[in-house]
Amino acid sequence: MTGKMTIALDAMGGDAGPDMVLPGAELASVRHPDLRFLLFGDGPRLEAILTKYPRLKGRSEVRHSEIAVGMEDKPSQALRRGRGKSSMWLAIEAVRTGEAQGVVSAGNTGALMAMARFVLKTIPGIERPAIAAIWPTLRGESVVLDVGATIGADARQLVEFALMGEAMARSLMSLDRPTVGLLNIGVEEVKGLEQVKEAGRLLRDLGLPLEYKGFIEGDDIGKGTVDVVVTEGFTGNIALKTAEGTAKQLSTYLKLALTRTLLSKLGALLATGAFATLRERMDPRKHNGGVFLGLNGIVVKSHGGTDALGFATAVDVAIEMIRNGLVAKIAADVAEINKHMDAFAPRAAVDA
Amino acid sequence: MTGKMTIALDAMGGDAGPDMVLPGAELASVRHPDLRFLLFGDGPRLEAILTKYPRLKGRSEVRHSEIAVGMEDKPSQALRRGRGKSSMWLAIEAVRTGEAQGVVSAGNTGALMAMARFVLKTIPGIERPAIAAIWPTLRGESVVLDVGATIGADARQLVEFALMGEAMARSLMSLDRPTVGLLNIGVEEVKGLEQVKEAGRLLRDLGLPLEYKGFIEGDDIGKGTVDVVVTEGFTGNIALKTAEGTAKQLSTYLKLALTRTLLSKLGALLATGAFATLRERMDPRKHNGGVFLGLNGIVVKSHGGTDALGFATAVDVAIEMIRNGLVAKIAADVAEINKHMDAFAPRAAVDA
């Protein structure tokens, strides 16, 4: 099903680097027998690990790179040290040249975004890329963006996020007409930021081919009220991390409660199957992969602290986006939409 | 322990109005035998309900009011209709005149804040009031503010929030030196909003008598990394509601998982005690009560949809704030701190 798809991996990214990335790629190889990999990183180290994974070895090519971007490097440092030669840069470069159709990295988010913007450039008509998270909800999954590519967004940028997120939801969840909501606050005396209100007006009045459902609040994300949740990167990042913190908090409570007494331990034992289902639903490794939207190429960021299973999920996400031609979809949508937008809301006027 | 404390209740506030508020006050009467109430609302209706609660009846005084602020009224509508005569306004007014030491309402948040600002005014030296939430964490409880009084805050306003939240944490959690953190995002290429960074510099350099711990991220809230989490109202409101949504989502998953098979149902039955503990920890009624900080009087907002138990918790919060002289603490802190602030960061310069 993946045809002759090739994915470039920054094998040095993530807390455990190639010791996590390569087993992750092996798992992805099992799932996708036609998939090929370009593995960028410390050649001898990668070759040594590959001896344990003959299947992966047969389907991948190692590209040596001396330099690995550190997880704590600032984007400017990473660019200075790693431009043109780090495993991260070279993996992205493989997408630009067409050797690979997408890149996956568990490395430093800031550096990855900076390099990806530099190498791939934004799609014509898109001002700023965004990072989209795949958020598990009571109804399934939603796309939430921006979760931290940039801080702040004006009305027109929020509309661009809506378009890009909608295209991603169509690709990822095979929805014909995903619903879109703008994240806002419901307290009456403060009816939301001006740019959010203005974005709401644009989404309602522009006649975009997009199912806009209006404002939603924070608790609507988990409910799955809409398929695509649009907000700027500061709020989006804090919402995402707050939800992660709450999930961790509640699973800690649950563990504590279930190991407190002999009876509760016995109960937990009997309900093992139920808890396996619960763990599965809550497993962050099943929802791993932040998609960089708005660039001329597919870039997926895996959690740095994930394991092989989580990394394989991020590869799955990349495959899905490639297979559905996400970049072309966004480019076409944006070209179409910018005709409307320029008439209704010239960029300068919206920005002012 | 409550001495001759009197609390004014907006008996008409909340989804169920007096049918929830009066039973809630009854519960609070049991907990606090010295407490007195002024009950503002529809006199005949309140008197009728009170016949069921002779204890509460003996300790409260009904003040008739024809007008109740609607849960969906805009603050401007509420002020127009309810100024000087609604149960909400009159309850707040009782704090201003000194008849009551604090007011609790489960009514419309926006209207309550608008009326409270109008009647009580802000403490000298405080620019804007904030709403502080009491957030259950893995370490106990934290104070999070602002969760929606206003949108946006400059550096100096964030510092004021830090001071007020710190005073509240000292009162509520009997801490000598609560720790304070500024909510920010950790993505490296976007190191946070300018005003958050500037507030960080002020908190670090001003030599305030306050245990400032630096920036924290969304997942630190649930961990309880700091006792006081400072952010502006848009982000704070979205973080709070997102966490509520996630908690509801996970408890739905848990219920579904535990009722799926006979074995899991049996397990759940055996672990009933454990789940009671879990429910207790997660019970939003145990953490009910948003405190309006920065006003010349104690105003506590209860969730509109809570029940008697939740309302009694909000009354507990008000009592704790009154007993600890929160308003005087904040006023003294602010007077002291503004001497430092004016030297280091004149208001005009910070606002620019």
Residue B350 banded pLDDT, cuts 50, 70, 90: very low
**Average pLDDT across chain B, whole number:** 89
Domain range for residue A98?
Answer: 6-120
The yes-or-no verdict on residue B324 having pLDDT over 50 is yes
Tokens representing B46 are 């309140």
**Residues B150 and B86 grouped into a single domain:** no
**Residues A18 and A47 grouped into a single domain:** yes
Tell me which residue in B186, B189, B256 faces A113 most closely, judged by beta carbons. B189
Tokens representing A265 are 């331990």
* Average pLDDT estimate for B339-346: 66
Q: What is the structure's pLDDT at B349?
A: 43
In a domain, B103, yes or no: yes
Q: What is the structure's pLDDT at A320?
A: 93
**Residues A241 and A346 grouped into a single domain:** yes
The yes-or-no verdict on residue B210 having pLDDT over 70 is yes
Q: How many domains does chain B have?
A: 2
**Domain C-terminal end among B63, B96, B120:** B120
The yes-or-no verdict on residue B104 having pLDDT over 60 is yes
Q: Which residues of B touch A188 (CB under 8 A)?
A: 72-75, 108-111
SS (H, E, C) chain A: CCCCCEEEEECCCCCCCHHHHHHHHHHHHHHCCCCEEEEEECHHHHHHHHCCCHHHHHCEEEEECCECCCCCCCHHHHHHHHCCCEHHHHHHHHHHHCCCCEEEECCCHHHHHHHHHHHHCECCCCCCCEEEEEEEECCEEEEEECCCCCCCCCHHHHHHHHHHHHHHHHHHHCCCCCEEEEECCCCCCCCCCHHHHHHHHHHHHCCCCCEEEEEECHHHHHHCCCCEEECCHHHHHHHHHHHHHHHHHHHHHHHHHHCCCHHHHHHHHHCHHHHHHHHHHHCHHHHCCEEEECECCEEEECCCCCCHHHHHHHHHHHHHHHHCCHHHHHHHHHHHHHHHHHHHCCHHHHHC
DSSP code for B184:
-
In a domain, A125, yes or no: no
Q: What is the structure's pLDDT at B344?
A: 62
Residue predicted with more confidence, B174 or A279:
B174
Task: For residue range B263-287, list pLDDT tens digits in order.
Answer: 777 777 777 777 777 677 667 777 7
Tell me which residue in B137, B264, B274 faces A258 most closely, judged by beta carbons. B274
**Residues A18 and A109 grouped into a single domain:** yes
**Residues B209 and B338 grouped into a single domain:** yes
The yes-or-no verdict on residue B189 having pLDDT over 50 is no
**Domain C-terminal end among A120, A142, A165:** A120
Q: What is the structure's pLDDT at B255?
A: 81
**Residues A58 and A162 grouped into a single domain:** no
Q: What is the structure's pLDDT at A189?
A: 47
CATH number of domain containing B219: 3.40.718.10
* Average pLDDT estimate for B63-76: 92
In a domain, B289, yes or no: no
* Average pLDDT estimate for B72-99: 94
**According to DSSP H, which parts of chain B are helical?**
18-31, 43-50, 54-58, 75-82, 87-97, 109-120, 155-173, 194-205, 218-223, 233-258, 262-270, 272-282, 308-323, 326-344, 347-351
CB within 8 Å: A187 and B242: no
Q: What is the structure's pLDDT at B172?
A: 86
Q: What is the structure's pLDDT at B351?
A: 39
**Residues B152 and B22 grouped into a single domain:** no
Q: What is the structure's pLDDT at A336?
A: 82
**Residues A272 and A182 grouped into a single domain:** yes
Q: What is the structure's pLDDT at B352?
A: 33
**Residues B58 and B170 grouped into a single domain:** no
- Best residue in A80, A217, A234, A252 to probe B by mutation, most B CBs within 10 Å? A234
ipTM above 0.90, yes or no: no
Tell me which residues of chain A have a pLDDT lower than 70. Answer: 1-3, 187-191, 278, 281-282, 342-352
CB within 8 Å: B257 and A277: yes
Between CA B176 and CA B180, with CA B179 as vertex, the angle to 5 degrees is 135
Tokens representing B49 are 């309900």
Q: Is A215 an 8 Å CB contact of chain B? A: no
Q: Is A115 an 8 Å CB contact of chain B? A: no
Q: Is A152 an 8 Å CB contact of chain B? A: yes
Residue B191 banded pLDDT, cuts 50, 70, 90: low
* Average pLDDT estimate for B104-126: 95
- Mapped onto helix, strand or coil, the DSSP state of residue B232 is coil
